[in-house]
A and B are shown apart, each in its own frame.
Chain A
Amino acid sequence: MSEDRNKPMDRPAGDAAEKPAEEAGAMAAERPAETAGTEPAKAASSAEGRAALAAPDRAARDAARAERLAARAAAKAAAGGTQGADGGGQAGEAAEAPAKEPSPNQPKLDRLVAILREQIGEDAVADAYINELDRHTPTVVVNRDRWHDVAVLLRDHPELKLHYLRNLSGVDYETHMEVVYHLFNLQNKQTYCFKVRTDREQAEVPSVADVWPAANWNEREAWDLLGIRFTGHPNLKRIMLPDDWVGHPLRKDYVPVDPEV
């Protein structure tokens, strides 16, 4: 397994090394020293190696991507490192770590977290960050026990007015289960992402079908395919698979009862 993981890591660096040499022709001839210089760097970090090797426009893009990745890793490390500590410090650190201009949505995220802390309680927010890959969506990990209260607040708060549930998906992270909600304010056209994490064996998340009726079938789908039990759901039964189906197929460790099927 670890070999499998290593192989693809090296390959794109190799690709990038060959391609610009073919494409850029003269340019490659001008920059042999640079190309040679980055060979050892490839081993250290394939992302950096790629950035230096590629043609200029590609280099800029790759560098931006590498930076983004590094920033995310740093933010993650910061969040992970201070898990027990005060959440406010976490958000601050995550924003400072990359040492570049903060996301345009950072004030929105800060305001959202402040509202949640003030109205629901300090324990409402487990983590908060900007998902730069996804149009800088403000993302908040909500404490599972407070999720229903938070949901009602999100819908009714005059500043937030998140009336529209855009998407609901469940994800099996093998260590835990996560339900991802994308909520949307039609007036200021801002999408927010909320996540609720739960234990894998005892996967339970409060249902929000009474807050957004759209969640009803989606929660049933998540129950059916991932085995996440939504407590308080009016009619939590399978929706896609037959009622007598055994197991929840989208779980990573799912094994069909009858392999012939």
Chain B
Amino acid sequence: MTVRTEELVLNVGPQHPSTHGVLRLILHLDGEVITRAEPVIGYLHRGTEKLAESLNYTQIIPYTDRMDYVSAMTNNYVLCHTVETAMGIQVPERAEYIRVICMELQRIASHLVWWGTFLLDLGALSPFLYAFKDRETILDFFNELTGARMTYNYMRVGGVKWDVPDGWIEKLKDFVQYMKKRVNEYEALVSGNEIFLHRVRGIGVIDAKTALEYGLSGPALRSAGIKWDLRRDEPYSIYDRFDFDIPVGKNGDCLDRYQIRIEEIRQSLRILEQALAQFPPDGDIMGKVPRVIRPPEGELYVRIESPRGEIGCHLVSKGKQEPYRLKFRRPSFWNLQILPKLLVGQPMSNLIAILGAVDIILGEVDG
């Protein structure tokens, strides 16, 4: 007797715990093996770019919080930095230090969310609790500084909104020392685990050529062995003052992406340590900014390194208070595009590992 087989079309999401938001995947399966995958996105599209066209620049900042809501500080920064570049505004030193401290702290918080949820997806519950405990400490720091846990609306064109509270820097210095030990603990807990390694080693391999073709950035690009980090290669803010390494992978698999992010937490701690040591004891937190912010006519594309990769802001200004066109290059959107290619030929069980290792935030994918 012959067994009749047929292709199975399986719908994953949009509401599914491992899709980290509202990603829908239409999978075509041959038994356990994925033959075709089609992501369906847009469930969280809020038309940020359209809204921006009728708002002035300060009013757009809270909208950027809501794109990559796990890394709102870097989003704030890219918009402010774009306008500052266009207008030639000098940001005071103290404000630059506060910004770098916030962005690196944010990178750690973002990687912790990733680390916890990625392992949760793979079936390990306890790392999630470790990660969220430490992340909560970081959010408490942000809460004290900005009054919000996740959507900070903190940076302004020309500086930052609030100065650091008394004792904040000292507390942060202690936290950095504490966190350095914790990262080692994380590694001891997970990185050598045999089951974990079986789930991620050699899975979802991206080679350098493909990574470039697909416009990947951040840890996804670096896992393919390309040493490219905008903090070092196109330095912005005051990143050229700090000493830090750029971890790169060899194999381009999920394990490499995992190790890169863990190492990036360490490097961010290194930057934080230096920034906190150099932190100017006093000074302005806002530069000289015209009362009405009106970048000159022209266009520019400004990019920075967010935890997920290159977040860019393409601004077309007509010299008005509102942008004529504001386009965000959202790294999650770009990095997600390679997913169908990675999934083809993989067993269903690898889907979660591959998707998780890409590290997407749906708010950013959908804009």
Contact = CB atoms under 8 A, between A and B. Distances in A.
A213 B298 CA distance: 29
Nearest to A18: B291
B51 to A, nearest CB: 10
A246 interface: no
* Interface-centre pick from A16, A133, A182 (highest chain B CB count, 10 A): A133
Interface stretch (B3-11, B22-30, B96-104, B208-216): B208-216
B213 A167 contact: no
B62 interface: no
Contacts, number: 113
A240 B40 CA distance: 9
- The SS class assigned to the A binding surface is mixed
A250 B50 contact: yes
Contacts of A241: 42, 45
B49 A166 contact: no
Contact of B300 (A61, A131, A214): A131
B88 interface: yes
A252 to B, nearest CB: 8
A8 B294 CA distance: 9
A58 B288 contact: yes
Interface in B178-231: 209, 212-215, 226, 228
Contacts of B50: 225, 249-250
Contacts of A15: 290-292
B309 to A, nearest CB: 11
Contacts of B116: none
Given A133-B300, A165-B215, A189-B234, A240 B41 contact: yes
A221 B291 CA distance: 35
B184 to A, nearest CB: 33
* Closest 9 A/B residue pairs (Cβ): A214-B215, A134-B300, A169-B327, A240-B42, A240-B45, A133-B298, A167-B329, A163-B212, A169-B314
17 contacts: A8-B294, A8-B320, A12-B290, A15-B290, A58-B288, A64-B88, A65-B296, A69-B296, A69-B297, A131-B298, A131-B300, A133-B85, A137-B301, A163-B212, A186-B212, A213-B213, A249-B50
